[in-house]
Amino acid sequence: MITWAVPDNVGFAVSNREGGVSLPPFDSLNLGLHVDDNPEAVRENRRRVQHHFAMPAAPSWLDQVHSTKVVQLPLTASCQADASYTRCAGQVCVVMTADCLPVLLCNRQGTEVAAIHAGWRGLCQGIIENTLGHFSAPAEEIMALTGPAIGPTAFEVGPEVREAFMAYSPAAAQAFIPAAPGKYMANLEQLAVQRLNHAGVTDIHCTSLCTYTLSDKYFSYRKSPVTGRFASFIWLKS
């Protein structure tokens, strides 16, 4: 179970792949409707997660496309975006992942929350910064949680990924370790922490859980391209 010392008015949860009704290879708590799983099984899995974590309402699921778009809840219709923000009680922000990095945010007063889907493209192009821009609270009053994602011993990338991050900040080089010829092992969590720090957020709780090496507990697209999605949720209680 993932713990995080959030304000009393904030609720959060991170699911895994256990406790659902989906059949292999989506076994068993797949929450993604877009991966060719049985839609009725996914809807039942979503119902179970909402009930298990005592969420105040159904989560506002996004059509995630590795963008830098942030939407503010409540939504009037489904939309393409990779982060959601709200200051309204009873609205549940959610992002689905299966190797990409989920980032949850709240302010210390417990009046604003957000959920971010940070794949390397969105992270590099500014999804964290765009989401922080929705907060009224200054960065020094914002708390962050980085959830399960592919770890630095499993995430092999090409030089173009390293160069893209270094174009933003030369310090990003610290998050890349040379691997096979022309390849690097990338630390997605470290890159996110760098971006958060640069924006002024220093209260960061890192889970450092690798979806690839823990693929029996979390879905990993790089381990099994046909797989499900787990999710990270955050909401205001009242």
Write the CATH number for 237. 3.60.140.10
The number of distinct structural domains making up the chain is 1
**Residue 107 is assigned to a structural domain of this protein:** no
Domain that holds residue 39: 9-61+92-99+211-238
Q: Are 60 and 91 in contact (CB under 8 A)?
A: yes
Q: What is the pLDDT of residue 15?
A: 98
162/185 Cα distance (integer angstroms) = 10
pTM: 0.98
**Residue 167 is assigned to a structural domain of this protein:** no
**Residue 137 is assigned to a structural domain of this protein:** no
Specify the amino acid at residue 103: V
**Residue 230 is assigned to a structural domain of this protein:** yes
Q: Are 91 and 57 in contact (CB under 8 A)?
A: yes
**Residue 204 is assigned to a structural domain of this protein:** no
pLDDT averaged per 10 residues in sequence order, the chain, 238 residues: 96 98 98 98 98 98 97 93 98 98 98 98 98 98 98 98 97 96 97 98 98 98 98 96
**Residue 46 is assigned to a structural domain of this protein:** yes
Q: Which two tokens stand for residue 210?
A: 């690798």
**Residue 21 is assigned to a structural domain of this protein:** yes
The single residue listed with the structure tokens 């500014």 is 126
**Residue 220 is assigned to a structural domain of this protein:** yes
Q: Are 210 and 170 in contact (CB under 8 A)?
A: no
Beta pairing partners, 158: none
232/59 Cα distance (integer angstroms) = 10
Residue 36's alpha-carbon distances to 2, 20, 25, 31, 215, in angstroms, are 28, 16, 10, 11, 19
